[in-house]
Amino acid sequence: MNYSIKELSNIAGVSARTLRYYDEIGLLKPLYTTDSGYRYYGEQELDLLQQILFYKERGFDLKRIQKILYQEQFHLMDALEEHLLELKKQQAHIASLIQTVEQTILSMKGEYQMNDTEKFKAFKQRAVQQNETLYGEEARKQYGNHEVDTTNQKIMQMSQQKYEQFHSLESDIKQLLENAVVSGNKPNSEQAKQIVVLHKKWLCMVWKQYTPQAHKGLSAMYVSDERFRTYYDERQPGCAEFLHQAILHWADQC
């Protein structure tokens, strides 16, 4: 059965304007367009739209979704199984949050002795899951499953004080990067060296072993992978490239 753009909009809960935009950028082309310019969609287009909505729900941007959907090795069943796995992870996270809230209530009533690790376990699990979803595939390809699993385990085992230090250091690095780019500093400057030293310290909190070569390899992903670049360039364009060049210059000396 084929649907007009209005009918598909009603079925999927997606505005006709959005569907036209998806057509314009090549994300979701209609099955055919009449001479009068009316778009019609078939079953295959409906399946693709469902996938787009699944990936959007998981936080993927449209550029990344398009890359996934139109790669040669994309299979609908594999994608659905991946969505199911991700949803089960989210379900487990919600269950963990519920448990944390319940334990906190009991602790405040004096009916349960809650330690600091339990208070923040669910939040650390969420951070690990988000990193796995966004960067896990690339990280595992480059560094192997064992290294990534070790990093995740280190995060989960962090005390609250160390976990706060880890995130504080991450924020400091991003702020210093933004300041350096805005001020026109060069990647071979002393300010850049300070950033690389802090970045190395941040990595060493979760890496099993640090090497300058691995540091340089990671920095290459910051500019070659759109997700990493977007993370560092979120508030100030040029930060990802600055960090990459600074690491290339200073990693062997820090």
For 134-191, how does the pLDDT look when each residue is reduced to its tens digit (9 = 90+)?
Answer: 667 767 777 677 777 777 777 777 777 888 888 899 999 999 999 999 999 999 999 9
β-bridge partners, 216: none
The encoded tokens of residue 129 equal 């899951």
Q: Note whether 164 and 188 are within 8 A (CB).
A: no
Q: Note whether 48 and 54 are within 8 A (CB).
A: no
Collect all residues with Cβ–Cβ distance below 8 Å to 76 and sequence separation of at least 6. Answer: 47, 51
CATH topology of domain 158-254: Globin-like (1.10.490)
With residue 131 as reference, give the H or E element that holds it.
helix 116-143
Collect all residues with Cβ–Cβ distance below 8 Å to 13 and sequence separation of at least 6. Answer: none
Q: What is the number of helices (H) and of strands (E) in the chain?
A: 12, 3
For 1-56, how does the pLDDT look when each residue is reduced to its tens digit (9 = 90+)? 899 999 999 999 999 999 999 999 999 999 999 999 999 999 999 999 999 999 99
Residue 46 has φ and ψ, to the nearest 5°, of -65, -40
Nearest of 219, 120, 124 to residue 173 by alpha carbon: 219
Cβ neighbourhood burial of 126 (10 Å; 0-12, 13-18, 19+): middle
For 71-100, how does the pLDDT look when each residue is reduced to its tens digit (9 = 90+)? 888 888 888 888 888 888 778 777 877 877
Per-domain boundaries in the chain: 3-69, 75-157, 158-254
The encoded tokens of residue 77 equal 């069943």
Length of the chain: 254
Taking domain 3-69, whether its CATH number is 1.10.1660.10 is answered by: yes
* Fold agreement between 3-69 and 158-254: no
